[in-house]
Amino acid sequence: MVEQRNIATLHGARRIWTIGAIHGEAEKLNALHDAITPRLAFGDRLVYLGNYLGYGSAQFETIAELLRFRRIFLSIPPYVDAGDVVFLRGAQEEMWQKLLQLQFSVRPAEILEWMLARGVGATLSAYGGRPVDGFRRAAEGTVALTSWTSELRSAMRAAPGHDVLLSGLKRAAISHEKGVLFVSSGLDTTQSLADQADSFWWAGRSFARIDSPYESFRRIVRGYDPDHHGFFETLDTLTVDGGCGFGGTLAAVCISPDGEVSERVEI
């Protein structure tokens, strides 16, 4: 059994609901939550596969809806534990955290430009930031850039629940007895689970080439495909991404602890 502080283990799960990339589309998330609520049962667990932020325009509403539904899910009796709902870190959340530490970068303007090309601008705007200010502060130096990122961090902390949720994200999750491994986008099958580093969110394009079991897991489930091929299932993998944020659907599946799909919902 893998025991790491940043990798969650879903103990005692009978079924696991898992939700793919959201990308700031709060209305679809709300509708998806409404669709799965009547289907919830004792022994269910819930895993969000990252990328709550970015691209879409409803960043604040998305976080608020995640927090709202978490409260609803944890109210299902009996014996519901806070660890029964897991939020994974996606590429968007990783970039946002790196943006808040931009003053420590050797070439901050280049890194900011790279992140903006990958969707972080929507999150920046949600917390009151502007790219032009970031580039200007980067040109002015470390002190000015530190002041800018501090303003962004303060804005995030002022939003109820945002800092707590975003600072508590897990890198991956596993069902008990290592039946299923849940990741945000990718996995480096040449490395152990403990040595994945950034692969969970940046190795997405190699995911489609996985054609054999990884370690002792029966299946690997991810929530975002950077190539936007949509929902896809193989013997060893499952991609729960309907293209939300890019004109597609928001997808969720209910699976057994050993990876068998029992229900699929797309909004």
Least confident range from 41-50, 170-179, 218-227, 258-267: namely: 170-179
CA 67 vs. chain centroid, Å, equals 14
Q: State the Cα–Cα distance between residues 27 and 38, nearest whole angstrom.
A: 18
Q: What is the CATH number of domain 7-90+169-266?
A: 3.60.21.10
pLDDT at 2 over 50: no
- For residues 7 and 144, what is the distance between their CA atoms, to the nearest angstrom? 36
Q: Would you call 21 exposed, middle or buried from its count of C-beta atoms within 10 A (0-12, 13-18, 19+)?
A: buried
* pLDDT tens column, 14-57: 999 999 999 999 999 999 999 999 999 989 999 999 999 999 88
Q: Which residue type occupies 235?
A: L
Q: Is the pLDDT of residue 265 over 50?
A: yes
pLDDT average, residue stretch 92-100: 97
C-alpha distances in Å from residue 105, one per residue of 57, 109, 138, 145, 146? 28, 9, 10, 10, 11
Residue ranges of domains in the chain:
7-90+169-266, 94-158
| pLDDT, position 7 | 94
Whether residue 131 is preceded by a cis peptide bond, meaning omega within 30 degrees of 0, is no
**pLDDT for the residue numbered 1:** 40
Nearest alpha-carbon partner for 18 in 267, 225, 187, 256 = 256
CB 182 within 8 A of CB 221: yes
Please, which pLDDT band fits residue 3 given cuts at 50, 70 and 90? Answer: very low
Q: Tell whether the model's pLDDT for residue 79 goes beyond 50.
A: yes
Which is nearest to 159 in space by CA: 32, 66, 250, 85?
A: 66
| pLDDT at residue 75 tops 90 | no
The rounded distance, in Å, linking the Cα atoms of 30 and 187 is 29
pLDDT at 57: 86
Q: What phi and psi, each to the nearest 5 degrees, are found at residue 57?
A: -95, -5
Whether 213 has a pLDDT exceeding 70, the answer reads yes
What is this structure's pTM? 0.94
**Mean of pLDDT values over 169-176:** 93
Please name the residue that has the structure tokens 């109820």: 160
Residue that the structure tokens 């930031």 belong to: 129
Q: Quick one: pLDDT band at residue 4, thresholds 50, 70, 90?
A: low
DSSP code string of 31-48: HHHHHHGGG--TTEEEEE
Q: Is the pLDDT of residue 78 over 70?
A: no
